[in-house]
Amino acid sequence: MMLFAGKKALVFGVANKYSIAWGIAQALHAEGAEVGFCYGIPELEKRVRPLAESLNARLIEECNVNDDAALERVFRCAEEAYGALDVVVHSIAYAERRDLDGRFVETSRAGFNTALETSAYSLVALARHAERLMPSGGSILAMTALGSVRVLPHYNVMGVAKAALEASVRYLAHDLGPRGIRVNAISAGPIKTLAASGVAGFRDTYRLHEQASPLRTLVTPEDVGNTAIWLCSDLARTVTGQVVYVDSGWSIMGAHTLPSEE
Ligand SMILES: NC(=O)c1ccc[n+]([C@@H]2O[C@H](COP(=O)([O-])OP(=O)(O)OC[C@H]3O[C@@H](n4cnc5c(N)ncnc54)[C@H](O)[C@@H]3O)[C@@H](O)[C@H]2O)c1
């Protein structure tokens, strides 16, 4: 019996075949879920539609998560297509490129607001809509990164946004728990995606993880997808409000040794 047989999932944040959300969508589909897709801007449709259609998606909609009317509309579409939802995936982040380089202290008010609204508040808005379509309970999953709790050079305002996202996961888990809706996050190690390429110095981070994480291996969207199906399925039915690290063990270290220094 597949873990998500007969279940419906709505995935926000596929931009292309490298997206973490695509890894999660494929894993959910492989376990029997019917998956719908929401993408952020019209320009992405040409990439997202073929991917979504390859999984026989019935719902493929544009949705800027900062637009309340767009959110209202796509959750109405989801209700029409599926009736109810079992899983909602939030795999979205955005900050101005200039705020992902240099000194955090230079972050502008507007840049701060943009990053926090798109990358953290959007989970709250999504969860509010999802709650209405999860009358028998469900699972909401967000994507975060170590920059929420440790300083990652250049990650800057995105680290602050991820801290807000993780706190939101806990408050949402408290609010929605009595309705049987679980809310969790996966904190992934660096993965080469469109969003990651916007962070200055990303290539070095990537190389360092491969060489110095305890498992000496990089995380893939498939790895995140596999953890997501555990976290979103009944296998994790008493897990909520948590941040699960999928990072080859990087976050347990207090110092990192390069192979040449061993
Ligand atoms: N790649 C990594 O190294 C890494 C590591 C840890 C966590 N994450 C997180 O994973 C998530 C997915 O990122 P990714 O690395 O797959 O990159 P990605 O570029 O493939 O995905 C980011 C998505 O956010 C969407 N988005 C941005 N603004 C939006 C808006 N206003 N409305 C709707 N959608 C919007 C983009 O369209 C895109 O689909 C993000 O939350 C990111 O912070 C990434």
Percent of the chain with pLDDT over 70: 98
pLDDT band with cut points at 50, 70 and 90 for residue 200: confident
- Match domain 8-248 to its CATH number in 3.40.50.720, 3.90.1150.10, 2.60.40.10, 3.40.50.1370: 3.40.50.720
Q: Which residues pair with 71 in a beta bridge?
A: none
Q: How close is the Cα of 92 to the center of ligand 1, in Å?
A: 4
Reported as a single tens digit per residue, the pLDDT across 120-132 is 999 999 999 999 9
Q: Is the pLDDT of residue 260 over 80?
A: no
For residues 36-61, average pLDDT = 98
Q: Which residues pair with 182 in a beta bridge?
A: 139
Cα–Cα distance, 85 to 6 (Å, whole number): 11
Percent of the chain with pLDDT over 90: 93
Other Cβ atoms closer than 10 A to 192: 13
Cα–Cα distance, 68 to 63 (Å, whole number): 9
Label the pairing between strands 60-62 and 87-90: unpaired
Cα–Cα distance, 94 to 101 (Å, whole number): 14
Scan for tokens 């007969």, then name that residue: 6
pLDDT band with cut points at 50, 70 and 90 for residue 261: low
Q: Is the pLDDT of residue 258 over 90?
A: no
Name the catalytic one among 7, 8, 39, 155: 155
Closest of 134, 123, 129, 125 to residue 186, by C-alpha: 123
Closest of 115, 116, 135 to residue 181, by C-alpha: 135
**Contact (Cβ atoms closer than 8 angstroms) between residue 133 and residue 85:** yes
Q: Is 206 a catalytic residue?
A: no
Name the catalytic one among 18, 162, 171, 206: 162
Q: Is 162 a catalytic residue?
A: yes
pLDDT, averaged across the chain: 96
Cα–Cα distance, 228 to 226 (Å, whole number): 5
| Burial (CB count within 10 angstroms: exposed 0-12, middle 13-18, buried 19+), residue 46 | exposed
pLDDT at 262: 61
Query: Which range is least confidently modeled, 100-104, 133-137, 141-145?
Result: 100-104
14 CA: nearest ligand 1 atom: 39
Residue 129's contacts (CB-CB under 8 Å, 6 or more residues apart) are 71, 72, 75
Q: Is the pLDDT of residue 106 over 70?
A: yes
Q: How close is the Cα of 131 to the center of ligand 1, in Å?
A: 22
Other Cβ atoms closer than 10 A to 172: 25
Q: Give residue ranges with CB within 6 A of ligand 1.
A: 13-15, 19-21, 40, 44, 64-66, 91-94, 118, 143-145, 188, 190-191, 193-196
| Three-state secondary structure of the chain | CCCCCCCEEEEECCCCCCCHHHHHHHHHHHCCCEEEEEECCHHHHHHHHHHHHHCCCCCEEECCCCCHHHHHHHHHHHHHHHCCCCEEEECCCCCCHHHHCCCHHHCCHHHHHHHHHHHHHHHHHHHHHHHHCCCCCEEEEEEECHHHCCCCCCCCHHHHHHHHHHHHHHHHHHHHHHHCEEEEEEEECCCCCCCHHHCCCHHHHHHHHHHHCCCCCCCCHHHHHHHHHHHHCHHHCCCCCCEEEECCCHHHCCCCCCHHHC
Q: In testing the pocket of ligand 1, which one of 14, 41, 90, 91 has its CB within 8 Å of the most ligand atoms?
A: 91
pLDDT band with cut points at 50, 70 and 90 for residue 152: very high
Reported as a single tens digit per residue, the pLDDT across 69-96 is 999 999 999 999 999 999 999 999 999 9
pLDDT at 257: 78
| Higher pLDDT pick, 235 / 200 | 235
